[in-house]
Each structure stands twice: as C-alpha cells, then as structure tokens.
Structure 1
Amino acid sequence: MSLSDRVISVPVDPDRYAYSFGGGSPVVTVRPGSVVELFTEDCFGGRVRGPADLPSQVCAFPYLNPVTGPIAVAGAEPGDALAVHFVDIAPARDWGVSSTFPHFGALTATHTTAMLHPALEERVWVYGIDTKAGTCRFEATRGDFAVDLPLDPMHGTVGVAPAAGERLMSISPGVHGGNMDTPELRAGTTVYFPVNVEGAMFAVGDGHARQGEGEVCGTAVECAMNTVVAVDLVKGGAPAVPRLESDDFLLSTGHARPLEDAFRISQHDLVQWTANLLGLDRLDAYQLVSQAGLAPAANVCDTQYTMVAKLPKSVLGGARAYEGAHERLRALGAEYLRQR
C-alpha cells in the first residue's frame, strides 16, 4: 500500500468535538501504520480572542478543552499498546492566548486549597505568533515590557478511552493520558498508551504554541493547531501509564495529587521499564535511573498533577522500546513530510 493510501484527513467539524475521553462514536477509523491529518481548536474553543474576552464570560463549562476525535484504530484490543507519533504540530493562527483564572493555577487558592484571601484577577494575554521567525511575543498588560519567546508547539491533551466504560473530562489527566500538559509532547515524540477498549479511541487537543514546565498559571500560550500523527499498534504489553519516547529519551508519566505521588508513579514506571528493557535487577535499574534520570514537571494545576521521569537513551546500550515502534513511525513521518 502506498503512503498516499495511508493518509487520512479528519474533517473539521466543531459539532463533533469531544469534551471527554470515553463514550461517543469514532469520527474515523484508521489502520495501524496510518498517517492522520487533523485540526484542533484551542482550549477556549476559539472564543477568547482579546483582552476583553474573559473566559468566565465567553466560555461555558463543561465545554472547555475540546479534543478532535475519538479516532478508532482497527485491531486495537484491551491489553495492546497504542503508539501515537507526532509528525508535525503547527499553529493554525497567527495568535495565541493565555490567562489567569480565579481559583485555578499553582499560586492561588483553588477548590482543594481553600484560602480567605481574594481570588486572583481574571486577565487575558494575547501573543502574536510569527511562524517564519519561530517566535511568539509576550507583551505585559501593565507597562511596556515585551519579549519574543521561541515557539515550541506541543499538545497538552492526548489520550485514549479509559477502561470499564468510564468517561473522564478532557481537562483531567490520568492513566488514559488526557490533559497531561507536558512540554515533552512535541513533534518528533511518540506516546504509548494502554488500550482499554476496542479501537483504543484516541483523541487530541489543547495545542500550545509554547509552555513552561508546570504550566504554573494554569494556561499555556493556547493555540489552534494543524497536526499530523502516525499511529501503530504493539500487541500486548500495554503500559501502566502513558510513556513517551523521543530520539534521545525514554519518559514515563505519573498523575496524582499530591505532587510527590505523581513523582513517585513516574519514577516507579521508569525503573520498571528500564529493568525490563535491560534485563536488570529492579534495584540495579533503580540505581541507574537515580543517577542518570531527570524529573521535569508537566502540570501543577490540573485536577491531578503530572510529573515526568526522563532517562537518556544513551545509557540503554542500544535496547529498543516497543519493538522499535518509535523508529518505524519516525521514518513514516519523515516520508510523509518529504512527499507533502
């Protein structure tokens, strides 16, 4: 089958956006080895366009953080691992937005951290995006300071349907993926998910033109995206939590509150993954991860926090994860980009 026969374009249909993982019918079904082109709306549904568009006034709960999907993968069965490789992530508009919310973010009172002091002011920042220059421009809302920041497009939300018929809002991260908000999820990265239901039913949204680690204020530079992914299946061996692989790193995720439990979950999975890949005793793997690993924060503001545990592939002696799925999908993505 030629590459052109494996490229699937998902029609843009705002009426089909999903706001949860689990439930609903697939917008399209694709085969393993397919390349999928799709558009994702920003987390505000495109309604926040300027400083006067306060999210609390122009957005309606629960219609926040729309995702494109679900997309079914033919042959995916519970217990399999679904591999989703991000081939390209490109801002679809020349602007993005960020905001502060009352009772949301890492440095304010929240619904779980009750305080007597007033909530933070709701405010909107608009970022001009220059894809040719590779920058987005921060401009202070009080004063004249401005600075260009490097573009680093990524997706904050990607996941599969949860197990046991559960349905989870798209603003929540968990073992199904969802709103993980890790800047590591950029083009060139492969994500491995446990398949929980027939077809896997994955969905993608919440594009960020860039995001600092932790997404501290609760929002990144939120932006609509034109995105291309390549998908594959690894039969059996579903991971306990979403895992990521880039050319240089293996990464495990953890989702929980408090933050140290999210840290422990991510580290535990990376130790187990390393032990299995290298055939190491668990404490030997623990020692290796302890000395060579990194621990970037993903989000410290969502309904559950997300931490990432990160190990350089240079210490793995050439061991390959998931039967080389990352390398296969990277090659498929490179072929797509050459022919586009």
Structure 2
Amino acid sequence: MDIVEFTPETEQLTWTFGGAAPIRRVKPGSVMRLWTEDAFCGRLRSTEDLASASLNMPFVNPQTGPFYVEGAEPGDTLVLHLVELTPARGWGASATIPFFGGLTSTDRTATLQDPLPERTWIYEVDTDKQTVGFRAQGSDLELALPIETMLGTVGVAPAAGEVRSSLVPDTFGGNMDTPEMRAGATCFLRVNVEGALFSVGDGHYRQGEGESCGTAVEGSMNVVLIVELLKTPGPAWPRIENDDYLAVVGSSRPLEDAWRAGQVDMVGWLGQLHGLDKLDAYQLLSQISEVPLANVVDVNYSVVTKVPKRLVPASEVYSGIHRHLREIAATL
C-alpha cells in the first residue's frame, strides 16, 4: 500500500477546479495524509480581524491538490474514502461578510439595504473534550459545541477544459459544503479529464445544514483519505455512501433545481440497484428520501438527497467498495 504525505507550501495552494497542473501523481489504492488550509487562508485569527480588511478576493477557499490519479480516464468513477479529519489548529473562525450569506443582500439578490455589519467569531478547540467554543459578542452566552469535522470542498477538474472557482459546487463536486462529507464517508465522482485531477480543502470543524451566514467554523485540517478508481461509468452528480445512507448532492440555482438534480440522479441510482423502472423508483423515493440542505449561500446552492439503507434491500453498491475501504481504514 502506497502512503502519500503532502503538506502544501503557500505558493502550492490552488484556487480553482481545472486549470492547475497536478502537484503529485498517485496510484489507486494509495493512502493519503494531507493538510488543508482554512477558507480564510489563516488570516482571521482574532475577533479584531475583519473579512473586508483581511481577505484577498478571489484568493479564498484554497485547495490542496490537484492530484493526478494514474489510470484515470474520462468517464471513470473516482472513489475517495475519508478516513480521518482532525483539526490542525487550536482555533477555528467564522464571520459575517458584506453582501454574502443567506440572510443579507447579495450581488444576486440585490436590495437597497446596507450589508449586515461585519463580525468575526473565534472558536477555541478543546481537544480533550472534542468541542469548539461559541462565544457571543453581543451578549454573555457561551456554548461548548461538539466537533463534527467535514470537508467543504471535494472535487475533480471539470470537463472540456473548463476552470471553475473553488467557491463553486457543480457536477464535478467542488464547494458543496455538505456535512455528509465527513470521516467514514465514501465519495464517488465522475472523471472528466485524464488523471481526474482531484483536490480537497475548506475544512470545517462543524457546520449547520445550509451554512446560513456563509461561513462554518472554518479551520485547517489534517486529512487521511484512500484513493480508488473504478472502470465503471461515473455518476452525473457527486454521490456519497456511508454506513447508513446513500446520498446524491445536486448543485444549481434556484434551490429547487439543486433539489431536482439530486432527486433525478437518485431515481436512476435506485433503478440501477434494485431493478426498478423510472416511475417505481420515483414513487419509492417520494416515500423514503431525506433532503438536508447543504448550502444556500454559494454561487450554486447544494441540496442532498439521502436514502436510508435500512429501508431498501441490501445491494452491492459499486461492487461493495465502501465496505472494502472501511475495512482497510480500520487497519490504518
């Protein structure tokens, strides 16, 4: 088993999916131990640091990668199993940013209102208790919230030479911001270019569904993942499997089109797994799906369609590769 360890220097960080040369070549089956920078590039370190003065747009949401997967060809399925996501700093940061977020005027939802005031929150990490500390600034409330690490961005290079900002989620994955992208999950992505050119980043120490204000508890992350490759047709939209659910992430605007994208792909997935025609799969999904919001703030919104495994017959999803990778992860 190949073990690849990589911590990028600042100049090696990337800001797009597509358009960047691969930083390393890796073989399918490799275990990768990576470090990712936070979405703010580590520039928000105190409540005195405000986004407008500290951030250098569009150089936010830096990615670790891209990595060239040997043997990956357009149309294949790239498999990324997240083994471990561990905070790499003793603090995380969140912020309100002018004209960004779900409950403020934006460049796409224009009103005559002034932007919400800027504010930065610093969450101290308690490693022993596995919590992050919320401290209100306009009152005296303090809370210890459980650490629930996830990756906001997991993606491959888009097709046709397209270059997309690391702030964007779409069919290639990208900035989906779903809490489903946590340790123990297996992500399936369609390969669009030779080598797949996948990147990861945007670590969150925790995030509520929808990421209402546009920022989670953003933090640098130590990432352990396993890379695999299947010579089977890749999915139309990113798919996720964990021990309890199958999920599809659809991303678009308006919000209902993001929902539709995931629903349509899940109808096809259920049909493939259980021999259902389109209408039977549609009917079954209507009665068993769970649909958490991932983000309602990014360039595209992301909606997750989930199916509980306990409610459908057991099936060999992608030849049982999730179970196989879980077994390998347990030995690391």
The TM-score bracket by the shorter chain reads: over 0.9
| Equivalent position of 1:191 in the other structure | 187
Partners of 1:295 and 1:307 within 8 A in 2: yes
Does the alignment pair 1:40 with 2:36?
Answer: yes
Give the whole-Å Cα distance in 2 for the aligned partners of 1:331 and 1:78.
28
Corresponding position of 1:326: 322
The one-letter amino acid paired with 2:209 is E
By how many angstroms is 1:332 displaced? 1.6
Deviation at 1:317, TM superposition (A): 1.3
* Amino acid in structure 1 at the alignment position of 2:322: H
Which whole-Å CA distance do the structure 1 matches of 2:136 and 2:113 have between them? 25
Structure-1 separation of matches of 2:127 and 2:180: 20
1:68 is matched with 64
d(CA) in 1 for partners of 2:127 and 2:262? 34
Structure 2: give runs of 5+ residues left out of the alignment. none
Q: Give me the whole-angstrom Cα distance separating, in 1, the residues matched to 2:20 and 2:258.
A: 29
Query: How many Å apart are 1:55 and its aligned residue?
Result: 1.5
Q: Does 1:298 align with 2:294?
A: yes
Does the Cα contact within 8 Å between 1:22 and 1:165 map onto a contact in 2?
Answer: yes
> Which residue of 214, 218, 224 maps to 1:222?
218
Secondary structure at the counterpart of residue 326 of structure 1:
helix
Q: Does 1:164 align with 2:160?
A: yes
Distance 2:34 2:131 in 1: 23
Alignment correspondent of 2:146:
150
Please report how far the alpha carbon of residue 315 of structure 1 lies from its aligned counterpart in structure 2 after TM superposition.
2.6
Task: Please tell me the residue identity of whatever aligns with 1:335.
Answer: T
Q: What is the match of residue 311 of structure 1?
A: 307
SS of the aligned residue for 1:328 comes to helix
SS of match in other structure, 1:311: strand
Once the two structures are TM-superposed, the CA of residue 331 in structure 1 deviates from its matched residue by 1.5
Paired amino acid for 2:330: A
Residue in 2 aligned with 1:58? 54
Taking the aligned partners of 1:142 and 1:157, their CA distance within structure 2 comes to: 31
Counting only pairs closer than 5 Å after superposition, residues 188-337 of structure 1 correspond to structure 2 as 188-336=184-332
What is aligned with 1:10? 6
Q: Return the offset for 1:27.
A: 1.2
In structure 1, what residue type is equivalent to 2:83? V
- In structure 2, the residue matched to 1:29 is 25
Is it true that 1:137 corresponds to 2:158 in the alignment? no
Runs of 4+ residues over 2 Å off in structure 1 = none
TM superposition shift of 1:78: 0.3
% identical equivalent positions: 51
- Displacement after TM superposition at 1:12 (Å): 2.9
Q: Distance in 1 between matches of 2:112 and 2:89?
A: 40
What is the distance in 1 between the residues matched to 2:29 and 2:312?
A: 26
Measured in 1, the distance between the counterparts of 2:285 and 2:111 equals: 38
Aligned residues: 332
Contact 2:186 2:240 in 1 (8 A): yes
Name the amino acid aligned to 2:214: G
Q: CA deviation at 1:17?
A: 0.4
Name the stretch that deviates more: 16-25 or 205-214. 16-25
How far apart are 1:316 and its partner, in Å? Answer: 2.9
Amino acid at match of 2:287: Q
Distance across 2 between alignment mates of 1:136 and 1:320: 38
Two-structure CA RMSD over aligned residues (Å): 0.8
Do the aligned residues in 1 keep the contact of 2:7 with 2:36 (CA within 8 Å)? Answer: no
Q: How much does 1:230 deviate?
A: 0.3
Q: How does the TM-score come out when normalised to structure 1? A: 0.96
SS of the aligned residue for 1:247 comes to: coil
- Residue identity in the other structure for 1:293: S
1:256-302 CA distances to partner (integer Å, 9 max, x unpaired)? 11101111111111111011111111111111111111000000000
For residues 186 and 253 of structure 1, what CA distance do their matches in structure 2 show?
Answer: 14
Residue 314 of structure 1, CA deviation: 1.7
Gaps of 5+ in 1: none
Q: Tell me, what secondary structure is at the counterpart of 1:201?
A: strand
CA contact (8 A) 1:271 1:285 kept: yes
1: CA distance, partners of 2:290 / 2:145: 24
One-letter amino acid matched to 1:280: L
Query: 1:101 corresponds to which letter in structure 2?
Result: I
Higher mean alpha-carbon deviation, 324-333 vs 161-170, is at: 324-333
Q: Distance between the aligned counterparts of 1:132 and 1:298, measured in 2?
A: 29
